[in-house]
């Protein structure tokens, strides 16, 4: 058995945003790989729906936590609770925040800015500061980001700005940690998911994003990287690199 196929039995993986369109695929992939997967959510009904989508057998190792992480204090308390209950946190894959578009920057309202830049960026920062210090020594932190964080998207300017902030947050973590913990980001193109089941056949599915996230956590040599997954060709190339 190689590192790339070793089961993640006994590992605890936290997936904030696991109830979301992309998060569902990430959660499923880690459960299939044998991990215990903890999903915090602001909504019990979204947790119940996730368990249904995952199915009863895999859901045995899915642990939903109805809680918030929108402030530093909330994320701190959540991380402490999860670490106490599960006695470890090995990996975190943060898939928080979604898509929004339709206005030029100068037409964007303050409420939209608050919701799609401030709230989502604060949540990512709160999660990183709460969980990174708690990761096991061989653990990892992965930020899920979108293509618009690297390429300006005029009608979704505040989502582009949020994405760019996440990528720099990851770089700052890398610069500070200097290899003490592994941190990476996956920069995704458009994803085929339960809310958008159709699309270009070269787009990744949410389950394929999960496959990449699992392979990344299983690859000890991979750290401090922006990993671009625009399409299936990128995925094949990156899986080849991760699986050696």
Binding site for ligand NAP (CB under 6 A): 17, 19-23, 41-43, 46, 70, 95-99, 119-120, 123, 144-146, 188, 190-191, 193
**Smaller CB separation from ligand NAP, 3 or 27:** 27
Least spacing, CB of residue 96 vs ligand NAP, in Å: 4
CB atoms within 10 A of CB 80: 12
Triad 117, 120, 123: Cα angle to 5°: 140
**Smaller CB separation from ligand NAP, 42 or 237:** 42
**Smaller CB separation from ligand NAP, 46 or 134:** 46
Least spacing, CB of residue 142 vs ligand NAP, in Å: 11
**Smaller CB separation from ligand NAP, 53 or 88:** 53
Least spacing, CB of residue 83 vs ligand NAP, in Å: 20
Least spacing, CB of residue 210 vs ligand NAP, in Å: 12
Least spacing, CB of residue 220 vs ligand NAP, in Å: 25
Q: Nearest CA to 123 among 152, 108, 143?
A: 143
**Smaller CB separation from ligand NAP, 88 or 225:** 225
Least spacing, CB of residue 2 vs ligand NAP, in Å: 29
C-alpha 144/C-alpha 128 separation (Å) is 12
Residue nearest ligand NAP by beta-carbon distance: 20
C-alpha 150/C-alpha 185 separation (Å) is 12
- The CA–CA distances, whole Å, from 125 to 74, 76, 134, 161, 194 equal 12, 11, 15, 15, 27
**Smaller CB separation from ligand NAP, 193 or 219:** 193
**Smaller CB separation from ligand NAP, 120 or 184:** 120
To which H or E segment does residue 182 belong? strand 182-188
In terms of Cβ atoms closer than 10 Å to its own Cβ (0-12, 13-18, 19+), residue 178 is exposed
C-alpha 239/C-alpha 244 separation (Å) is 8
Least spacing, CB of residue 69 vs ligand NAP, in Å: 7
In terms of Cβ atoms closer than 10 Å to its own Cβ (0-12, 13-18, 19+), residue 220 is exposed
């Amino acid at each position: 058995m190689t590192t790339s196929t070793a089961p993640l039995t006994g590992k605890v993986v936290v997936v904030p945003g696991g109830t979301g369109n992309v998060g569902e695929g990430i959660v499923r992939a880690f459960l299939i790989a044998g991990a215990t997967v903890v999903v915090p959510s602001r909504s019990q009904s979204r947790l119940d729906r996730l368990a249904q989508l995952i199915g009863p057998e895999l859901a045995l190792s899915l642990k939903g936590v109805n809680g918030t992480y929108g402030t530093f204090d909330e994320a701190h308390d959540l991380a402490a609770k999860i670490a106490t209950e599960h006695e470890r946190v090995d990996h975190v894959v943060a898939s928080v925040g979604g898509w929004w578009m339709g206005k030029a920057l100068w037409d964007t309202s303050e409420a939209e800015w608050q919701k799609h830049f401030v709230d989502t960026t604060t949540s990512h920062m709160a999660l990183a500061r709460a969980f990174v210090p708690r990761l096991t020594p061989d653990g990892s932190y992965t930020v899920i980001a979108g293509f618009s964080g690297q390429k300006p998207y005029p009608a979704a300017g505040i989502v582009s700005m949020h994405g760019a902030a996440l990528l720099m947050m990851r770089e700052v973590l890398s610069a500070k940690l200097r290899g003490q913990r592994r941190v990476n980001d996956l920069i995704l193109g458009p994803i085929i998911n339960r809310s958008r089941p159709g699309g270009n056949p070269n787009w990744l599915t949410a389950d394929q994003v999960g496959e990449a996230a699992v392979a990344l956590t299983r690859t000890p040599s991979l750290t401090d990287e922006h990993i671009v997954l625009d399409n299936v060709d990128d995925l094949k190339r990156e899986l080849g690199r991760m699986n050696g």
